[in-house]
Chains A and B, each alone.
Chain A
């Protein structure tokens, strides 16, 4: 499995996709922006391009002829997606922390980049993953439907979460303006978000690993 991940990073993931987290992460410096968009760029750009590359290079057949199990093929691809997502989210978090300290006097209309917000981002990626991974492995090469459905699902979640954050004063109080008193609450939202991300990704992987063995290569 480790060899398959290495294979993808050496052959299927061009350097630009490892630089992208820094480029999109830098958007965290736009004061008071909709920061969900920073991570959505991964879904809009990196994912379809990367999977288009896999298809163009006949990666599926290449991999299927190696002495590896079909389960490992799915597990490795899911790991590559998760590793790239973590890279995007961690770099955005670091840039977000700098951004918050840089602009001390602005009013955030959209979510402030505190821990609670990053928890929501993990949930967004989890929703993206369960949709993308499960749909993609119906064929293991058609990525259009998987990309479309997963992006719409992730954007709907982000849009609804943001709308509630603005409309509901209760939710607004939780996510906006992190004081020391709210660090515990924010951290627990982050942890809950991470757990949801793990759960949704694992479910996506399970569905995919049931579907992939039936695929004709």
Chain B
């Protein structure tokens, strides 16, 4: 079953456009949603939460159309925005008391068990929580109302490596039983190398690729060769950088001929992101 099914979503702004966005997330998995700042990650997430009006396309969550079943589906969605605070002068306890009334499946026992597990003090104000604690608080809220799909926008940005690792372990634990699915946007690709099952890569408002993590990186090769070899593959490269030793460039695995003698390696997610961003620059 698909937890999230985004079909041909388009949205046009004055200076930016989401073009024909489509990707699917299977139930019980973590999908990393990567892209540079301004690539369209948050806009896509806002369209999933019906916060913006899409010009065309369809968002389906847990098999149901979002536009038609918004209230019902919002009962099943949990969210965390790494960089947005809500009512941050209020105490955790006060905010929870308000929020829990909106959810019919709210479970106080689950909530308090997560508070203990995450070591959250409910007498603290939201503004007194560290960035990681705020994400954990949002997770505690989502899990207490039985959310099946967690939409997390940059939840690890601004966290120290220990807190990030801790959070990633929690994400993996959550999807362990196969009931919960996570869409997790980030520009910190190393996080995804640790915990994501699927990767969706957005660049300049378009989905470049959405695939299982290993298959995703194996679609590309990172070439490094002498400057004299550059002309052989230049036209096929997604983009390249020249250096004193020659060049390095990203290429689709299908376009690469292993007999060419150029060194090829499987790129990291970060390298894929960087070379795609460079491709955009080359056309500007």
B52–A65 touching, CB < 8 Å: no
B98–A10 touching, CB < 8 Å: yes
Return the contact of B86 from the options A3, A10, A57 (Cβ within 8 A): A57
Once bound together, how far apart are the Cα atoms of A214 and B53, in whole Å? Answer: 8
Q: Can you give 27 A-B contacts (C-beta < 8 A)?
A: A3-B98, A7-B101, A10-B90, A10-B94, A10-B97, A11-B94, A11-B95, A57-B85, A57-B86, A57-B87, A58-B84, A58-B86, A58-B87, A59-B86, A61-B84, A64-B49, A65-B74, A65-B79, A67-B70, A67-B75, A67-B102, A68-B102, A69-B71, A214-B53, A216-B52, A217-B51, A217-B52
Chain A residues with CB under 8 A of B74: 65-67
Instruction: Contacts A10-B94, A11-B87, A57-B88 given; indicate if A216 touches B79 (C-beta within 8 A).
Output: no
Q: 4 closest Cβ contacts across the A-B interface?
A: A67-B74, A62-B86, A217-B51, A3-B101
Once bound together, how far apart are the Cα atoms of A95 and B95, in whole Å? Answer: 36
Nearest to B104 among chain A residues (CB) is A67
CB of B226 within 8 A of chain A? no
Interface secondary structure of B, over-half rule:
loop
Instruction: Contacts A67-B102, A67-B103, A217-B51 given; indicate if A57 touches B89 (C-beta within 8 A).
Output: yes
Once bound together, how far apart are the Cα atoms of A7 and B51, in whole Å? Answer: 20
Give A192-217 as 1s and 0s: 1 = Cβ < 8 Å from B's Cβ atoms: 00000000000000000000001011
Once bound together, how far apart are the Cα atoms of A6 and B99, in whole Å? Answer: 10
Nearest to B72 among chain A residues (CB) is A67
Once bound together, how far apart are the Cα atoms of A62 and B87, in whole Å? Answer: 8
Chain A residues with CB under 8 A of B7: none
Chain A residues with CB under 8 A of B97: 10
Instruction: Contacts A67-B75, A69-B71 given; indicate if A216 touches B84 (C-beta within 8 A).
Output: no
Once bound together, how far apart are the Cα atoms of A68 and B88, in whole Å? Answer: 21
Please count how many residues in chain B sit with their CB below 8 Å of the partner chain's CB atoms: 26
Give B194-234 as 1s and 0s: 1 = Cβ < 8 Å from A's Cβ atoms: 00000000000000000000000000000000000000000
Once bound together, how far apart are the Cα atoms of A61 and B94, in whole Å? Answer: 18
Return the contact of B51 from the options A61, A68, A69, A214 (Cβ within 8 A): A61
Nearest CB of chain B from residue A119's CB, rounded to whole Å = 37
Chain A residues with CB under 8 A of B70: 67, 69
Once bound together, how far apart are the Cα atoms of A65 and B53, in whole Å? Answer: 14
CB of B46 within 8 A of chain A? yes
Chain A residues with CB under 8 A of B75: 67
Residues in chain B within 8 A of chain A (CB atoms): 46, 49, 51-53, 70-72, 74-75, 79, 84-90, 94-95, 97-99, 101-103
Chain B residues with CB under 8 A of A58: 84-87
The B-contacting residues of A in range 10-37, CB under 8 angstroms, are 10-12
Once bound together, how far apart are the Cα atoms of A68 and B51, in whole Å? Answer: 12
Chain A residues with CB under 8 A of B98: 3, 6-7, 10-11
Nearest to A57 among chain B residues (CB) is B87
Nearest to A10 among chain B residues (CB) is B98
Chain A residues with CB under 8 A of B85: 57-58
Nearest CB of chain B from residue A5's CB, rounded to whole Å = 11
Nearest to B85 among chain A residues (CB) is A58
Nearest CB of chain A from residue B105's CB, rounded to whole Å = 11
Give 7 A-B pairs besides A58-B84, A62-B86, A62-B87 with Cβ atoms closer than 8 angstroms. Answer: A57-B89, A64-B51, A67-B72, A67-B75, A69-B70, A69-B71, A217-B46
Nearest to A216 among chain B residues (CB) is B52
Once bound together, how far apart are the Cα atoms of A216 and B71, in whole Å? Answer: 18
Give the interface centre of B75, B89, B102 by most chain A CB atoms within 10 Å.
B102
Chain B residues with CB under 8 A of A67: 70-72, 74-75, 102-103
Nearest to B89 among chain A residues (CB) is A57
Nearest CB of chain A from residue B41's CB, rounded to whole Å = 16
Chain B residues with CB under 8 A of A7: 98, 101
Return the contact of A3 from the options B49, B51, B102 (Cβ within 8 A): B102
A66–B51 touching, CB < 8 Å: no
Once bound together, how far apart are the Cα atoms of A214 and B51, in whole Å? Answer: 10
Chain B residues with CB under 8 A of A12: 87
Return the contact of A59 from the options B49, B87, B101, B102 (Cβ within 8 A): B87
Give A46-80 as 1s and 0s: 1 = Cβ < 8 Å from B's Cβ atoms: 00000000000111011011111100000000000
Once bound together, how far apart are the Cα atoms of A70 and B84, in whole Å? Answer: 21
Chain B residues with CB under 8 A of A10: 90, 94, 97-98
Chain B residues with CB under 8 A of A216: 51-53
Nearest to A62 among chain B residues (CB) is B86
Once bound together, how far apart are the Cα atoms of A69 and B52, in whole Å? Answer: 14
B90–A11 touching, CB < 8 Å: yes
Nearest CB of chain B from residue A18's CB, rounded to whole Å = 16
A65–B90 touching, CB < 8 Å: no
